[in-house]
Amino acid sequence: MLCVRWQTENVDAYTRIADVIRYLDECHSDQPDLSALARRAQLSPSHFHRLFTSWAGVTPKDFLQCLTVSGAKQLLREGKSVLDTALDSGLSGPGRLHDLCLSLEAASPGELKSGGAGWKLSAGFANTPFGRCLVAQSPRGVCHLAFVDSSTAEAWAELQAQWPRADIERDDGEASQLARRIFTRSVSVRRPRRYALRACVKGTAFQVRVWRALLQVPPGKLVSYGQLAEAAGVPAAARAVGNAVGSNPIAYLIPCHRVIRETGVVGHYRWGSSRKRALLSWEMARAGKNLI
């Protein structure tokens, strides 16, 4: 019952809050007050304030600061220093020194050619603080994680196209347990709860290198495409790096949402720009950072 309540509350909160975020995207220069945002969510001001603060970890007023370009530029500068440190260490480790330690492995040439033949995947739909997702696990770890805004049939077809010869078994219960493990983790710097996960991805050597560079960016930090290109060892290939970021097959775990433009503009996201803003603000609130 607790798990069902967590899922229901999270999906309901995100459904309402995502619409408010879209509204703030369009009208943040007008500085809408609490009453206006509550009307947008079709809630009383007090109920909306409680719901928003419970979900985001900050008040709606503080969240509004996350939409400013000047703050984003500051976090970009901080992100550069994070990647500089990673470069000094040679990006040798496949994980990161944060509470969620993801060991990222690349599918072998044989596995790529076979399309997952001989593999049994456990996949299912689960609710998260950012809407519904489809997550799949292979014998070598998480191999797919995507937010679902369209029909579940389309999302399932995308997974099947990615691993066309694998035996995929649907298990929403197991998927929900994995989603809880991923999205209810602590990002507290003082008292982190460390979780270890494995992931296996299909990608070119270049794409995997970019994704591994992304793992060096902790919650509450941002990097630009240019900074990420430098960290990946291809400083002149920011456009190609952008394409690799957009091809990320594992949402959130490989944090492509932490990459924004040099100008400080958040920009596009494979699973929606409003969701990208929500992810960034949620992470920064829980990391105890100064909001952008």
Q: Residue 139 CB: number of other CB atoms within 10 A?
A: 14
Q: Residue 97 CB: number of other CB atoms within 10 A?
A: 11
Q: What token pair was written down for 278?
A: 């929500």
What's the distance, Cα to Cα, between the start and end of the chain in Å?
Answer: 37
Q: Give the residue from 174, 170, 184, 211 showing the smallest Cα distance to 130.
A: 184
Query: Hey, is 91 helix, strand or coil?
Result: coil
Whether residue 80 contacts residue 170, with contact meaning beta carbons closer than 8 Å, is answered with no
Query: Hey, is 190 helix, strand or coil?
Result: coil
Q: What is the CA radius of gyration of the chain?
A: 19
CA 171 remoteness from chain centre: 22
Let me know if 66 is a catalytic residue. no
Q: Give the residue from 189, 195, 179, 174 showing the smallest Cα distance to 252.
A: 179
Query: Hey, is 145 helix, strand or coil?
Result: strand
Question: For 97, which DSSP code?
Answer: S
* Catalytic positions: 256
